Amino acid sequence: MNSEISLYIHIPFCRSKCYYCDFYSINDGKKIDEYCKALINQIKKTECHEKKRSVKTVYIGGGTPSILSCVQIENIMNAINETFDLKNCIEQTIECNPESVTEEKLKIYKKLGINRLSIGTQSMNDCELQALGRIHTAEMTKTAYEMAIKNGFENISIDVMLAIPEQTMDTLKSTLNDLMNFQPKPTHISAYLLKIEEKTIFSKKNMQEINEDIQEEMYLYTAEFLAKNGYEHYEVSNFAQKNKKSIHNSNYWQQNEYLAFGTAAYGFTQNKRWHYDNNINEFIKNNGNIKKIIDEELNEQQLAEEKIILGLRTSDGIDAKILNEKASKYVDFLIKNGLIYQKNNKISLNSKGFLVSNGIIFEIISLLF
């Protein structure tokens, strides 16, 4: 067992539901305090063999974690510090929405050791934000970002969405240019192609995804634009300045262990993938004392397959030595077609390859196993 571990803390509250969102979240603010108390109890009652384990990263996600009051977030972080060893913790991230960021909260985050923000921006175009069901404006993003810089945050990630209904190449270029004009520039950009998922508001409205050719154009333009501005395309949807990759998310892609807390949170320990049920009422009723639901226990072959899948989703790639004759021929074909490259006995997808990564990964796995 790796001595270091990552922690994911789930805050399933939002002021309103974005039209594209299929994550578990609720907008009943009256339950926040009860939920936080149950969450703290769950953290403090961590299994004995995990207590005081050294933590490498902490990620507070949602939902909208920045909706919590200063007291609530402070109590959660205190519980984490009481239960785990954070002396060597190198990255502590909290997700924020622009409309709920305040100077008081930023000061508390800093005091608590949170050193990275992930701001849910999606677009710097107010019409596109309204089309997504977002409740902030582009100006609110700018204000929140400047406030974060003023309060000493040097590591800030911005979420951007591509292929938004009615988005054009011109409005996308405008959003990206606006972000590059932030001073200093964001250290990290996550850029996601909009997918219409079942049970979302978009799905219920029969909203259709925009033309695949336009999606491809937007994705490849974003990758090229960010590369010119000093960002490495290090994962399918993620771009980072030098030494600013998300350490927490990289742990996921490297098959490292992580504990999860909160309703609908997912964890990975002892080769088991597991989660907690998305029933907040049961979570509160039982004061956080709920059972893990085991999704799968991976055997050696499954771990090997997953290592390849995760590796090919990142610029780290996979070791070329593991390829058999058939897979090597397929990789040579991909290299000739400009989808993959080989360097220092590693094979990695480039931006064009990332765009069609699912098909490539499936084919390589089928040739190897």
User: 3-class secondary structure for 143-211?
Assistant: HHHHHHHHCCCCCEEEEEEECCCCCCHHHHHHHHHHHHCCCCCCCEEEEEECCCCCCCHHHHCCCCCCC
Whole-angstrom Cα distance, residue 367 to residue 343?
Answer: 21
Q: Do residues 63 and 14 lie in contact, with contact meaning Cβ atoms separated by under 8 Å?
A: yes
Residue 290: inside a domain: no
Give yes or no: residues 178 and 72 share one domain.
yes
Residues 6+ apart with CB under 8 A from 255: 268, 303, 306, 307, 310
Residue 162: inside a domain: yes
How far CA 280 is from CA of 17, 25, 259, 283, in Å, comes to 16, 9, 19, 5
Give yes or no: residues 249 and 309 share one domain.
no
Of residues 157, 162, 52, 148, the one with CA closest to residue 109 = 148
Residue 12: inside a domain: yes
Give the domain-ending residue among 195, 228, 253. 253
Q: What is the pLDDT of residue 48?
A: 79
Give yes or no: residues 169 and 233 share one domain.
yes
Sign of CA dihedral 73, 78, 84, 89: positive
Whole-angstrom Cα distance, residue 122 to residue 259?
Answer: 28
Residues of the chain with pLDDT under 50: 1
Q: What is the pLDDT of residue 39?
A: 98
Residue 265: inside a domain: no
Instruction: State which residues form the domain around 336.
Output: 300-369
Give yes or no: residues 199 and 334 share one domain.
no
Give yes or no: residues 123 and 35 share one domain.
yes
Give yes or no: residues 241 and 353 share one domain.
no
Residue 32: inside a domain: yes
Give the count of domains, the chain. 2
Q: What is the pLDDT of residue 168?
A: 96
Burial bucket for residue 94 (CB in 10 Å: 0-12, 13-18, 19+): buried
Residue 40: inside a domain: yes
Residue 264: inside a domain: no
Of residues 2, 17, 47, 10, the one with CA closest to residue 32 = 10
Residue 230: inside a domain: yes
Q: What is the pLDDT of residue 166?
A: 85
Task: Look at strands 272-275 and 293-297 and give their pairing.
Answer: antiparallel
